[in-house]
């Protein structure tokens, strides 16, 4: 019948939507008034549609009674700005050497343009976000990172000076507690100050792990460019314990850039975070899939 009621034709769709909401209810109840720390980075940040999906997810979490905290990276954007300014950047032991000129650019890009862009995206979806970095309210105090690498010529292990690259030494949660109690969404840039007053560039995963640990977060979500932790056959491992992580690092299954991510997971779990999830940030609404459905969207790691 051509003159059928259009609303009636849409009913099956409406019922599906209602069913989806009902299925999400127990998950929403589980996370009610709980802190969830989300590390947002990688290529998902460069894609406008993915960024808008992410902002929608964060606003929906806050509206459903969860307390999201966003920590973002920005390596590719820092690289582009350094190139634009003609500042040469070198890598040692897999980390960017951050001299005085570089750390100024890092702070400008991370705590400036990227941070406010994410705040703007969340605002455009109806959320209220506040952009901060580790310096604000002495939130994160950093210490200089020390790394060693084996010299290929002499085969001797030497200390690698990475300049102003830091790691979290302590976290003061006072500012975050105030922001969350005002029902605002903190968006944090991983820049911190040392006891020496020097500005330090902190790895975003490490920064997120320290924040999650200090806030006793229910979940730490690390959004990456891969589906999660993969076994030797490149299949996703859905669930792991800390012991599994250490075993898979020892036998060479977990390698390269995944090792520091896993070390961050272990650090956060040992400080009271209930579970950490490594998931693909390029999947549309990956955060909602992980938190509000039975399917999950990556590798979940628990203490044991």
Sheet of 35-40, strands arranged across: 129-133, 185-189, 67-72, 35-40, 219-224, 275-280, 298-302, 239-241
201 annotated among ligand-binding-site residues: yes
Alpha-carbon gap, residue 202 to 200, rounded angstroms: 6
Around Cβ 249, how many Cβ atoms within 10 Å? Answer: 16
Distance, first Cα to last Cα, the chain: 60
What per-residue string of b and e applies to 159-177 under the rule 16 or more CB within 10 Å gives b?
ebebbbbbbbeebeeeebe
48 annotated among ligand-binding-site residues: no
Around Cβ 195, how many Cβ atoms within 10 Å? Answer: 10
Residues 91/147, Cβ–Cβ less than 8 Å: no
Q: Report phi then psi at 42, rounded to 5.
A: 70, -160
Residue numbers in the known binding site are: 74-75, 96, 201
Residue numbers in the known binding site for substrate are: 74-75, 96, 201
């Amino acid at each position: 019948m051509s003159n059928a009621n259009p609303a009636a034709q849409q009913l099956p769709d409406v019922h599906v939507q209602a069913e989806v909401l009902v299925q999400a209810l127990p998950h929403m109840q589980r996370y009610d008034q709980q802190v969830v720390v989300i590390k947002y980075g990688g290529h998902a940040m460069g894609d406008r549609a993915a960024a808008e999906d992410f902002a929608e997810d964060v606003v929906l979490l806050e509206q459903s009674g969860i307390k999201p905290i966003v920590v973002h990276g920005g390596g590719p954007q820092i690289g582009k700005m350094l190139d634009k300014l003609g500042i040469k950047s070198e890598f040692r032991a897999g980390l960017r050497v951050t001299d005085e000129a570089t750390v100024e650019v890092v702070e400008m890009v991370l705590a400036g343009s990227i941070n406010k862009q994410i705040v703007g995206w969340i605002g455009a979806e109806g959320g209220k976000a506040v952009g901060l970095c580790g310096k604000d309210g002495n939130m994160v105090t950093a210490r200089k990172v020390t790394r060693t690498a084996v010299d290929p010529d002499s085969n001797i292990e030497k200390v690698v000076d990475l300049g102003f690259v830091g790691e979290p030494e302590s976290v003061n949660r006072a500012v975050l507690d105030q922001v969350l109690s005002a029902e605002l969404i903190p968006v944090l840039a991983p820049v911190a100050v040392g006891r020496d007053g020097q500005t330090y560039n902190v790895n975003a995963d490490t920064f997120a792990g320290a924040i999650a640990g200090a806030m006793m977060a229910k979940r730490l979500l690390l959004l990456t460019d891969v589906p999660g932790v993969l076994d030797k056959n490149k299949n996703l491992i859905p669930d792991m314990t800390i012991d599994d992580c250490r075993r898979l690092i020892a036998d060479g299954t977990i390698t390269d850039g995944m090792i520091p991510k896993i070390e961050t997971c272990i650090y956060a779990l040992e400080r009271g975070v209930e579970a950490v999830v490594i998931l693909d940030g390029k999947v549309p609404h990956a955060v909602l899939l992980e938190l509000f459905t039975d399917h999950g969207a990556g590798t979940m790691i628990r203490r044991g």
